[in-house]
Structure 1
Amino acid sequence: MSVFDAALGRIFDNPAMAVAAVWISATTSEERTIRVMRRAPDRITEFGAAKLFSDTMIVDARVIDLPDPRPGDLIVMGAESFTIQGEPMRDRDRLIWSLDLRPS
């Protein structure tokens, strides 16, 4: 484990930075407890001359904790359940997944 991996572990273990979640595979029903960092940026979509603003939910998860997320898998955080939509994206260093979620 590199120093950078260890630092990421400390960030994801910090309760002020990340929350506990459960990942549930859509194909095998496998469950795994993970930690995620939530982001909810507004997304701007242009349609002709109109600009549409929409809420989004994106979470970051460590690749070491969640090796193979797929569209359709569930992420449950507390009482909220979300479905992964679109292809998960890894960061440049291949350490963090960014998962685009929609409410289930």
Structure 2
Amino acid sequence: MNAFTTAMNMIFADRNMAVDALWLAGGVGPGVAVRVIRKSPDEITPFGAGRILSETTRLDARIADLPTPAPGDLIRIGAEDFILQGEPKLDRERLIWSLDTRPA
């Protein structure tokens, strides 16, 4: 294990950085417990001569916890459900998935 992997594991274990979630492959099943880092940046999308501001929710998850995410999977954080949309993206080190989601 290298220093970067150790650092990522510590960040995902920190209760101030990551939260407990439940991953349901295909949106069904008993689910698998995972830790995710929730990011909610505003996104500006050009539309004709205007711009649309929309809220987004992106989640980061360790590949060790979430080996095969796919569009249509559901991530439950507390009472909130999010559906994965688009293809998950891996970081350069191949340790962290970046997941684009929408409310379920």
When normalised by structure 2's length, the TM-score is: 0.94
Give identity over the alignment, percent. 51
Deviation by residue 1:27-72 (Cα, 9 ceiling, x = unmatched) = 7736210000000011111011100000000010011111110000
Q: How many corresponding residue pairs?
A: 104
> 1:96 is matched with which residue?
96
Instruction: Work out the CA distance in 1 between the residues paired with 2:7 and 2:47.
Output: 42
Instruction: Say whether the 8 Å CA contact 2:27–2:74 is kept in structure 1.
Output: no
Instruction: Work out the CA distance in 1 between the residues paired with 2:87 and 2:81.
Output: 18
Larger deviation, residues 24-33 vs 36-45: 24-33
SS at match of 1:26: helix
Instruction: Work out the CA distance in 1 between the residues paired with 2:39 and 2:4.
Output: 22
Deviation by residue 1:6-43 (Cα, 9 ceiling, x = unmatched) = 11111000000000000000177362100000000111
Instruction: Work out the CA distance in 2 between the residues paired with 1:28 and 1:36.
Output: 19
Instruction: Work out the CA distance in 2 between the residues paired with 1:94 and 1:34.
Output: 17
Instruction: Say whether the 8 Å CA contact 2:20–2:33 is kept in structure 1.
Output: yes
> 2:57 is matched with which residue?
57
Instruction: Work out the CA distance in 1 between the residues paired with 2:67 and 2:30.
Output: 13
* Structure 1 unaligned regions, length at least 5: none
* Structure 2 unaligned regions, length at least 5: none
Larger deviation, residues 58-67 vs 22-31: 22-31
CA RMSD of superposed structures (Å)? 1.3
Instruction: Work out the CA distance in 2 between the residues paired with 1:79 and 1:28.
Output: 16
